[in-house]
């Protein structure tokens, strides 16, 4: 069956000589096929920075069909054309999913190294949508678009694309890359081009559920660790708190006004006279940083501090990095592609900040903003040299490597969960506990609207934690009526994003800055966030344990409904809550599409029920963002809190939305460390049976130190006017739960 002159069967796939190169097909899992065409096998074989897995033992077979070589697994078939060596991907049922077109390679030299520019053409179907690729504001479905993957302040380059047809392409390359979707005389095409490569190197991942595609991507590139519970609370930030006294007094004011908060952020320039990013606080304004941390912690608030990849040449850090050869030539930024540089970077952070109790790390400007000249906001990393090779080859991977430095450093020294905020991201970065915010955006209505598809595509790129500067970095005046309106709308949306964070320059944006009436609206949404924490934290566990996505474009859950393929301003927050941000001024309603789903939808604010598969005009007065809950939903809501650990989430109000079967698992752990990795957590499974009108709170699974052994559930069957909005509802049934199963029948 095999002809060694034409191909060689490997343990996990196939090698086809194409002198002077070769084509490899490697089976990583039944639904993951690695394709690598090396034009010249004499080039070095470099270890991937993105993919951290080796192929998993998988049952597969090889046969010939009409002279084609066919690899078959339980999930896919892969066909190799005998003449062109082009590859076609089929589902296990025989449906054509994706097909290669032409390959193009051009020999080049980069900084004295031999390399290639490469291009892979793919033939796609006319009716599919294309998503992911990082963050590119204002664009959702990339069909008919060309996207250049290069890191910039507002753009995030992630070479992972998913299709509504149920597959993903992970392009393993770090250089400038261009992805183009277009139609020519031969049909619909998708091309991937990269500036510097040794090979055409990509992974085909089949779902067909997009959740399965993204979970498989996470399996390949690293799971997303669980953030500490406090990271899912409210974050207050500005550019910038200028002293130790100011930052502590702001937190005290939150506590005095009874406004919930868990995180405050110290932005740049706290180093003052010590020089840019000196890893020191200027004592004139921060006389006792350790006391500042103690004061903040006594107020039950956590601090993130801004850290940059660049240094003033006069700082001790720069001098030491430079002496060891850890500065990228022609720049002021350190080289995270060097293992020693990564270790030293963390050692400086640990000594200056971690040792006094700083809780998390704002790694700003990780594109990187190289600092070749202080007047230049974007300076090229392209032409420098890293420890691994030319900057052009590793152009887009800086953020991945510098988050690695901090994550691995803290994990080595502590069991405290890592929190990292970055302005850039790359494939695989989720494994380093990274949150990305969308950059230094403006505050107008158009930008607000463009941010929604930006966030949705970022999360479709396999990176689960995204946020933005609520109200825009370049802020309006909180005393302006027009800015008050856009800030309210932005804030309402932000409360229902993976991370809830306010930031901006020029004007402070704490809730009380906007006047009493606006403050009341803002505080209501902070309360909504905290009441939803049992739901949010349980969904976060699904992110870690299942490769799930918290902020979900509608195409993820309703891809059977053709109307959702281009809906870019609505999304699911977890499995049950649909969010429809308001992005126009003076709105009293907004059009909302309710996707087709069994049992229909409920208005979160009123309990009114609607059939799916229709557009509605949803009420949207200034104090309300349209929220709709899918029938079959089970939503746990906790008590009012001032911070996430103020008291146990007890009682929990369980809102049940009848009309379809449903299930949900409430997840709990200590919220602080990595003991969950060793099984120290508890899950309470809950199911609603629509036919029998029966709710089952199942046997508790697992446990952890400090767990609430007995708790109370307030069962609320949602109906019009009952179990709606933010305020607690009068329970229909009260259940005392001690870990053993409880069955509750709906009173007919």
Cite the beta strand spans of 124-251 per DSSP E.
130-135, 146-149, 156-163, 167-171, 177-184, 187-197, 200-206, 234-236
- CB 36, CB 199: distance < 8 Å: yes
- CB 699, CB 741: distance < 8 Å: yes
What 3-state DSSP class applies to 267? coil
- Show the tokens assigned to 302: 């956590």
- CB 661, CB 651: distance < 8 Å: no
- Show the tokens assigned to 603: 């208005």
Q: Could you give the count of Cα atoms lying within 13 Å of 410 in the half-sphere of its Cβ? A: 24
For the CA atoms of 450, 454, 456, 460, what is the dihedral angle to 10 degrees? 160
Q: Could you give the count of Cα atoms lying within 13 Å of 717 in the half-sphere of its Cβ? A: 16
Residue with tokens 């302006």, as numbered in its chain = 480
DSSP state, 143? Answer: T
CA atoms of 180 and 148, how far apart (whole Å): 9
Burial environment of residue 420 by CB neighbours within 10 A (0 to 12, 13 to 18, 19 or more)? buried
CA atoms of 244 and 281, how far apart (whole Å): 10
Active site residue 440: yes
Active site residue 267: no
DSSP state, 416? Answer: B
Name the strand (E) or helix (H) holding 289.
helix 289-298
- Where residue 79 falls (left for φ over 0; alpha for ψ -120 to 50; beta otherwise) is beta
Question: How many other C-beta atoms can be found within 10 angstroms of the C-beta atom of residue 56?
Answer: 12
Number of residues that make up the chain: 748
Residue with tokens 């930024």, as numbered in its chain = 333
The one catalytic residue among 440, 469, 561, 732: 440
CA atoms of 337 and 403, how far apart (whole Å): 11
DSSP state, 384? Answer: S
The one catalytic residue among 172, 364, 450, 485: 364
Active site residue 367: yes
Question: How many other C-beta atoms can be found within 10 angstroms of the C-beta atom of residue 226?
Answer: 23
Q: Could you give the count of Cα atoms lying within 13 Å of 408 in the half-sphere of its Cβ? A: 15
Choose among 59, 63, 53, 128: nearest CA to 97. Answer: 128
- CB 595, CB 601: distance < 8 Å: no
CA atoms of 353 and 497, how far apart (whole Å): 28
- CB 473, CB 207: distance < 8 Å: no
For the CA atoms of 717, 722, 727, 731, what is the dihedral angle to 10 degrees? -50
The one catalytic residue among 26, 198, 267, 367: 367
Name the strand (E) or helix (H) holding 569.
none
CA atoms of 281 and 274, how far apart (whole Å): 8
Q: Exposed e or buried b for every residue in 624-658, given b needs 16+ CB within 10 A?
A: bbbbbbbbbbbbbbbbebbbbbeeebebbbbbbbb
Residue with tokens 């500036």, as numbered in its chain = 195
Residues 6+ apart with CB under 8 A from 562: none
What 3-state DSSP class applies to 208? coil
- Show the tokens assigned to 15: 């090698």
CA atoms of 554 and 52, how far apart (whole Å): 30
The values of phi and psi at residue 309, to 5°, are: -90, -5
- CB 600, CB 611: distance < 8 Å: yes
Angle at which helix 289-298 crosses helix 244-256, to 10 degrees, equals 10
For the annotated catalytic residues, the residue numbers are 364, 367, 440
């Amino acid at each position: 069956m095999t002809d060694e002159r034409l191909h060689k069967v490997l343990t996990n796939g196939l090698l086809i000589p194409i002198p002077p190169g070769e084509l490899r097909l490697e089976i990583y899992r039944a639904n993951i096929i690695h394709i690598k065409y090396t034009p010249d096998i004499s080039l070095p074989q470099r270890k991937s920075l993105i993919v951290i897995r080796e192929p998993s033992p998988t049952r597969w077979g090889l046969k010939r069909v009409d002279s084609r070589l066919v690899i078959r697994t339980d999930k896919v078939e892969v066909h190799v054309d005998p003449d062109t060596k082009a590859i076609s991907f089929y589902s296990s049922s025989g449906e054509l999913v994706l097909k290669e077109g032409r390959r193009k390679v051009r020999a080049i030299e980069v900084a004295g190294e031999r390399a290639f520019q490469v291009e892979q053409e793919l033939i796609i179907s006319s009716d599919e949508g294309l998503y992911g690729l990082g963050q590119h504001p204002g664009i959702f479905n990339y069909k008919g678009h060309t996207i250049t993957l290069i890191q910039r302040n507002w753009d995030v380059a992630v070479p992972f694309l998913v299709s509504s047809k149920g597959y993903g392409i992970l392009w393993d390359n770090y250089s400038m890359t261009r992805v183009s979707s277009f139609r020519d005389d031969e049909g619909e095409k998708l091309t991937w081009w990269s500036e510097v490569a040794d090979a055409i190197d990509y992974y085909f991942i089949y779902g067909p559920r997009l959740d399965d595609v993204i979970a498989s991507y996470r399996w390949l590139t690293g799971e997303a660790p669980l953030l500490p519970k406090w990271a899912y609370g409210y974050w207050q930030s500005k550019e910038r708190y200028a002293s130790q006294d100011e930052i502590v007094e702001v937190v005290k004011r939150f506590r005095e006004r009874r406004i919930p908060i868990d995180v405050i952020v110290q932005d740049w320039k706290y180093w003052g006279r010590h020089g840019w990013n000196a890893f020191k606080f200027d004592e004139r304004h921060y006389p006792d940083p350790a006391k500042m941390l103690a004061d903040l912690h006594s107020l039950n608030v956590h601090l993130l501090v801004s850290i940059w990849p660049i240094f003033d040449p006069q700082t001790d850090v720069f001098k030491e990095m430079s002496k060891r050869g850890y500065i990228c030539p022609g720049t002021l930024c350190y080289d995270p592609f060097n293992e020693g540089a990564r270790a030293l970077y963390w050692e400086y952070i640990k000594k200056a900040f971690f040792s006094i109790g700083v809780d998390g790390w704002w790694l700003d400007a990780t594109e990187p903003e190289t600092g070749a000249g202080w007047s230049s906001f974007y300076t090229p990393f392209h032409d420098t040299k890293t420890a691994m090779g030319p900057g052009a080859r590793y152009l887009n991977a800086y953020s991945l490597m510098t988050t690695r430095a901090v994550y691995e450093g803290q994990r080595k020294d502590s069991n405290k969960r890592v929190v990292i905020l970055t302005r850039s991201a790359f494939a695989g970065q989720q494994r380093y506990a990274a949150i990305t915010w969308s950059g230094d955006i403006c505050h107008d209505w158009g930008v607000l609207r463009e941010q929604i598809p930006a966030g949705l595509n970022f999360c479709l790129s396999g990176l689960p934690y995204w946020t933005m500067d609520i109200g825009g970095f370049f802020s309006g005046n909180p005393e302006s009526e027009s800015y008050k309106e856009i800030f309210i709308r932005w804030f309402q949306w932000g409360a229902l994003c993976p991370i809830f964070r306010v930031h901006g320059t020029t004007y402070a944006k704490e809730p009380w800055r906007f006047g009493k009436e606006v403050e009341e609206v803002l505080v209501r949404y902070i309360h909504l966030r905290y009441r939803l924490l049992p739901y949010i934290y349980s969904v976060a566990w699904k992110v870690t344990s299942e490769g799930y996505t918290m902020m979900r474009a509608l195409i993820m859950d309703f891809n059977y409904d053709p109307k959702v393929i281009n809906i870019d301003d609505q999304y699911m927050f977890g499995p049950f809550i649909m969010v429809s941000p308001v992005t126009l001024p003076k709105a009293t309603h907004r059009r909302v599409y309710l996707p087709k789903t069994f049992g229909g939808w409920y208005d979160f604010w009123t309990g009114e029920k609607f059939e799916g598969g229709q557009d509605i005009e949803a009420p949207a007065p200034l104090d309300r963002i349209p929220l709709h809950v899918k029938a079959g939903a089970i939503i746990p809501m906790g008590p009012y809190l001032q911070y996430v650990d103020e008291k146990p989430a007890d009682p929990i109000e369980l809102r049940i939305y009848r009309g379809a079967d449903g299930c949900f698992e409430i997840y709990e752990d200590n919220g602080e460390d990595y003991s969950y990795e060793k099984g120290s957590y508890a899950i309470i499974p809950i199911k609603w049976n629509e036919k029998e009108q029966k709710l089952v709170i199942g046997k508790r699974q697992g446990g952890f130190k400090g767990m609430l052994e007995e708790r109370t559930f307030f069962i609320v069957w949602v109906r019009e006017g009952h179990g709606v909005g933010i305020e607690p509802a009068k329970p229909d049934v009260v259940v005392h739960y001690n870990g053993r199963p409880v069955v509750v029948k709906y009173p007919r």
